[in-house]
Chain A
Amino acid sequence: MSKRIEAKDLNIYYGKFRAVEGVNMVIEPRSVTAFIGPSGCGKSTVLRTMNRMHEVINGAYVEGKLLLDGEDLYGPGVDPVNVRRQVGMVFQRPNPFPTMSIKENVLAGVHLNNKRVNQATQDELCEKALRGANLWEEVKNRLDLPGSGLSGGQQQRLCIARAIAMQPEVLLMDEPCSALDPISTLAIEDLIQELKENYTIVIVTHNMQQAARVSDRTGFFNIAGTGAPGKLIEIGPTEKIFSKPDQQATEDYITGRFG
């Protein structure tokens, strides 16, 4: 598992508006890459193009190449559904399915895709995913209760369990801790460290300390002004970005001179 992502001259549009332009980068497998930058600079937009969630919005499209182990995600004949089965996503706000129990939530990817799996395999997959998300011990006695009854942090880990139950190659996280308290945030950050053994992880965060704590590489995005497209200013090893970045704008942002 885990694949390399490569972006080449990626331009992203919402209708006529060019939201992000000229992104070139490589995201290494089995590592955590963090995207930081001010609001509206296109971090989340870039993240959403990586599993073709971007085009769910009306009129949104992408130019350029986005390669997953050399295969273009936007090539002709690529089915977004197949892309999303390999590239999982965790959202900013925990969003367990309200009609389903904890177990059904974890197995949602299996059930909703009409896969026929026997009961024993299902139980095994459910336990493995919940253990993977550090949630098993907390919920093992109430797997049949509704997922919406969990606390916010538990719900978010449930969503991570739901994503890794699909056994994706890449896991995208869009500000996964911004709706959580520090304790739950710590639990998720520890989890990210464990998950990077098996997955390529890309995380968007507003919290620079978090980026410094969890990521191996960091990319800094910025915009020139409102209405201007966002740009990837620089991407590199996290220590370098946070100690002696190449670009002045990055240093200004890191040291809190703006943003």
Chain B
Amino acid sequence: MSTTATAPKSSRHEASSLTAGQLPSWSTWVALVASIVVAALLTVAFGGFNLVGALALGALLFLVVMHVWSMSVEGGRKAVDRLAKHLVVAAFVIALIPLVWVIWSTLTQGLPRMDVTFFTNSMRSVVGQGGGLAHALTGTLWVTGIATLISVPIGLLTAVYLSEYGHGRLARGITFFVDVMTGIPSIVAGLFAYSLMTMLRGPGTQNGLAGAIALSVLMIPVVVRSTEELLRIVPNELREASYALGVPKWATIMKVVIPTAISGIVSGVILAIARIIGETAPLMIAAGFTASQNMNPLNNAMMTMPVFVYDQYAHPGVPVAPYHERAWAGALTLILLVMALNLLGRLIARRFAPKTAGR
């Protein structure tokens, strides 16, 4: 870029067919800062300084200024190229705003209550200060654990059927219904589990198992979809190599196809867990509310973290502050848990990835 200093000015019009005008490397930043400053001054002129207005107006101004500037120096193709690049970056920044905002407000409002009591105490006989989400934490572990135990075998085997065995009408039907399942509203899954429990154990039954059943209805299609995709990208050559060694089909699937895809399968499962661990609506119906520790998923209501957050926020006592603090801290714990699961998924994916090193 610094070579432009020595190049003749507006070389676009020079004789050589290879040279073209180029904006200096600092032009983008100068234009950006200048646009925002001008926009800020404009907001001051029309009724007082406004940060959001200045930034939004500045961004618009920048797009126009940069386009015109580039058009006059570099020509149409590069100007359009710059415009597209700036639009993409703008979209990225806009997409980041809510994410950063959510993390920031959860951190600032949740951190004060992230103390030891919060993780060791339940809400049993707690009014006002103190208390914690120990009961919701164990509840969430129980419910998602059981949901995973139900969903992974069913999802994995369905995916193996679809990618390795299924042809024709049955496979198409299963694929269709898996897609339909992906779209089931989570509240419907909760109602399904609740009415199943009503049929089995009488009306009004709420327990951890019901919550797990509701979550697995949501989790199975996710596991099937991700596993099927991964099994399909295992090269057919590997299957043929295995068949050519006289290996039966089942052993080929178990020992060649699945191991080749295992890293993706495991991280897919963990992402599916991360997806359902924050479900609230089905758990409110199927697993219910409670203030006390319950280690038996077959009997009585079981508190879970999303429901805990909802409960603390929606039904506070007086004064409101400690309830809201617990809600924020619960939300922060949930975010951290999901983040930890995502990291774990990536670690496992790297750990099991096919060996490539060493030549």
Contact = CB atoms under 8 A, between A and B. Distances in A.
Contact of A99 (B241, B247, B355): B355
A98 B237 contact: no
A163 B355 contact: no
A58 B167 contact: yes
Contacts of A159: 241
B252 interface: yes
B245 A149 contact: no
Interface string A143-180: 00110111100000001001100100000000000000
A82 interface: yes
B356 A53 contact: no
A247 to B, nearest CB: 32
A37 interface: no
Interface stretch (A8-16, A64-72, A83-91, A129-137): A83-91
Interface stretch (A17-25, A107-115, A197-205, A215-223): A107-115
A163 B244 CA distance: 8
B237 A108 contact: no
Interface residues of A, number: 38
Nearest to B256: A97
Contacts of A93: 237
B245 A101 contact: no
Nearest to A92: B237
Interface in B229-254: 235, 237-248, 251-252
Contacts of A207: none
A96 B355 CA distance: 11
B345 to A, nearest CB: 19
A51 interface: yes
Interface in B342-359: 354-359
A117 interface: no
Contact of A109 (B239, B245, B354): B245
A91 B240 contact: yes
B260 to A, nearest CB: 6
Given A81-B248, A148-B354, A97 B241 contact: yes
A213 interface: no
Contacts of A96: 241
A142 interface: yes
A214 B243 CA distance: 27
26 contacts: A53-B244, A56-B239, A56-B240, A81-B246, A81-B247, A84-B246, A88-B244, A88-B245, A89-B244, A91-B237, A91-B241, A98-B260, A98-B354, A99-B354, A109-B246, A112-B251, A113-B246, A113-B248, A113-B251, A114-B251, A145-B355, A146-B354, A146-B355, A148-B354, A149-B355, A163-B244
